[in-house]
Amino acid sequence: MISAYTGTQVRAAEEPLLAAGLGDALMQRAARGLANAVVHELKDSGTRLSGARVVVLAGKGNNGGDGLYAAAFLASRGMRTTAVLTGDAAHPAGLAAFERAGGRVHRLTEAALPGLAAEAAAADVVIDAVLGTGAKGGLRGSAADLIQAITDAHLHGFVVACDLPSGVDADTGEAAAPVLPADLTVTFGGAKSGLLADPGADYAGRVLVVPIGIEEHLPEPALRRLEGPDLARLLPQPARRAQKYSRGVLGVVAGSEDYPGAAVLACRGALAAGVGMVRYLGPPSVADLVRQSCPEVVCSTGTVAESRVQAWLVGSGMGPHDHEQLTRARDAIASDLPVVADAGALPALPAILAPHVVLTPHAGELASLFHRLGRGENRESVEAATLGAVRHAADRTGATVLLKGATTLVAAPWGATYSQADGTPWLATAGSGDVLAGVIGALLAQAGSDVGRFRQLGVEPDGRWAAIAALGAALHGQAGRAASEAVSGGPITAGRVADALPETWGKVSMLSNYGAWKRNSHSQPLR
């Protein structure tokens, strides 16, 4: 599990150490970690360390101090280092160490800006140490102009962000342009939640967490990411004497005359994700197509009340005029069974729901949901602040909310938030969301009632729905990636994602020997 924290949480964790006079030691550890990461990157890119050109953009706070100390370490290893001081001051001890190590210092002025931007663009490494967790808003003035000029230039080398890319909000991942996109972000003490949520994640590149000794003071994380061993431990496995009903039956209310394929893909996703049985309810013509494509599915035109299932999937491929299907969707929500509510069901739901209802909107659908709740949002505003949006939606509706995207976020109402980024951009394809709904529905049917198992894993009963949804997002993402890798990284269809699920499931299960997985998520790159 990767745990991520807000900037405020990290700063609070630093407090006892700062009070004990260890501030400089913390900064030295941070800077050493940053410098080591730069050395690794240079070696990986085949660049000679001696004489390598490093430009550090240093703000006036401690983030700039980290950058200057790190550049001092690099200068002492024979690199040609330049510091561009972007503010009216610089961290005094960091600057002194940098100058002692032989680094060149430039103060940013309007006249010097083009030359300094060109020097940064030509460098082997640019270290962005302008703003860190103490930032208030985005870059301003000449620092903003410099970052814009470097962003616009064709960069020779790579960019390493110190703690976070300047201009990205450490807590929310909101980005105030201009932001210099990093290839690597080296972050201190714990990952910042803004690095694991879009758009912050777009700018962060790979994320490396450097321990600095504050870890034992960190509180419950603001954001979690499930990794291999977590997924393995959450995956339901059939008991030796299982039968199809005990394994879990999923009722599917999906598809319409206009979008019959969505029902097929939702059923395929569910079947490939280990459910004991799928019951389909819907229009006869759609049921015929489902039967032909998935003979394993039991189809009927009956009501929700007549169907014995452990969970429901409602909404994929349904429109506002599919009255019979929408009635079934509402009945499923009222049934008190776990439900994954997708696409067409979202506008038809009551305003107040419960955590066992998992909503799976994309950004546009979430904006529409906010409109109905009287909050003015559009797709762009949701995409600009995904973490805030998903948290607000969960807390306001009482439902578990999964916001689909390059980084998929899942929020439990008044509870945990998960961030999964297991997929590939090729997953942005028609029907992909139907398969995801099928996977989550299948997991709800299999694992929803297993409260004890989640407790053992430290997940409270009301929080298990979000953990199941995050597990579904991870499986779906990994299956998408596997499907694309099977065609040498080429494009995939939603059906291929469903086809890749069983093998993905098998590979994830192999990690169930938790002790064998020695990865320390505080010292390894996140991706």
Ligand X SMILES: NC(=O)C1=CN([C@@H]2O[C@H](COP(=O)(O)OP(=O)(O)OC[C@H]3O[C@@H](n4cnc5c(N)ncnc54)[C@H](OP(=O)(O)O)[C@@H]3O)[C@@H](O)[C@H]2O)[C@@H](O)CC1
Per CB under 5 A, residues contacting K ion are: 128, 162, 166
Residue 470: what are its φ and ψ, rounded to 5°?
-65, -40
CB of 63 to ligand X, least distance (A): 3
CB of 10 to ligand X, least distance (A): 8
163 in a known ligand binding site: yes
Q: Which of 33, 94, 132, 448 binds ligand X (CB under 6 A)?
A: 132
Rg (CA), the chain: 25
Largest CA distance in the chain: 80
SS3 140: coil
Stated as kind and residue range, the H or E segment containing 312 is strand 311-314
Which of K ion, ligand X, none is residue 166 near (CB under 5 to 8 Å by kind)?
K ion
- Region of 299 please: left (phi>0), alpha (psi -120 to 50) or beta: beta
- In the complex with ligand X, the residue whose CB is nearer, 7 or 448, is 7
CB of 383 to ligand X, least distance (A): 22
Query: Using the rule CB under 6 A, is 63 a contact of ligand X?
Result: yes
Query: Using the rule CB under 6 A, is 61 a contact of ligand X?
Result: yes
- Taking the C-alpha atoms of residue 363 and residue 264, their distance in angstroms, rounded to an integer, is 24
Query: Using the rule CB under 6 A, is 136 a contact of ligand X?
Result: yes
- In the complex with ligand X, the residue whose CB is nearer, 208 or 254, is 208
Q: Which residues of 387-419 are buried (b: 16+ CB within 10 A; e: fewer)?
A: bbbbbbbbebbbbbbbbbbbbbbbbbbebbbbb
486 in a known ligand binding site: no
Number of C-alpha atoms within 13 angstroms, CB side, residue 431? 20
User: For residues 194-253, which are near ligand X according to CB under 6 A?
Assistant: 212
CB of 94 to ligand X, least distance (A): 9
136 in a known ligand binding site: yes
- Taking the C-alpha atoms of residue 424 and residue 426, their distance in angstroms, rounded to an integer, is 5
3-state secondary structure 163-211: CCCCCECCCCCCECCCCCCCCEEEEECCEEHHHHCCCHHHHHCEEEEEC
Q: Which of 60, 392, 396, 404 binds ligand X (CB under 6 A)?
A: 60
- Parallel, antiparallel, or unpaired: how do β-strands 158-162 and 249-253 relate? unpaired
Query: Using the rule CB under 6 A, is 66 a contact of ligand X?
Result: yes
- Taking the C-alpha atoms of residue 495 and residue 427, their distance in angstroms, rounded to an integer, is 11
CB of 455 to ligand X, least distance (A): 36
CB of 135 to ligand X, least distance (A): 4
Cβ-based neighbours of 145, under 8 Å, separated by 6 or more: 110, 113
- Note whether 22 and 212 are within 8 A (CB): no
CB of 180 to K ion, least distance (A): 9
228 in a known ligand binding site: no
User: For ligand X, which stretch binds (CB under 6 A), given 45-53, 54-62, 194-202, 244-252?
Assistant: 54-62
Query: Using the rule CB under 6 A, is 462 a contact of ligand X?
Result: no
192 in a known ligand binding site: no
274 in a known ligand binding site: no
Query: Using the rule CB under 6 A, is 135 a contact of ligand X?
Result: yes
Query: Using the rule CB under 6 A, is 4 a contact of ligand X?
Result: no
The length of the chain is 527
- In the complex with ligand X, the residue whose CB is nearer, 200 or 413, is 200
Query: Using the rule CB under 6 A, is 26 a contact of ligand X?
Result: yes
- In the complex with K ion, the residue whose CB is nearer, 162 or 409, is 162
Instruction: State the binding site for (6S)-NADPHX.
Output: 62-66, 132-138, 163, 262, 317, 362, 434
State the residues that interact with ligand X by CB under 6 A.
14, 18, 23, 26-27, 30, 59-64, 66, 131-140, 162-163, 188, 212
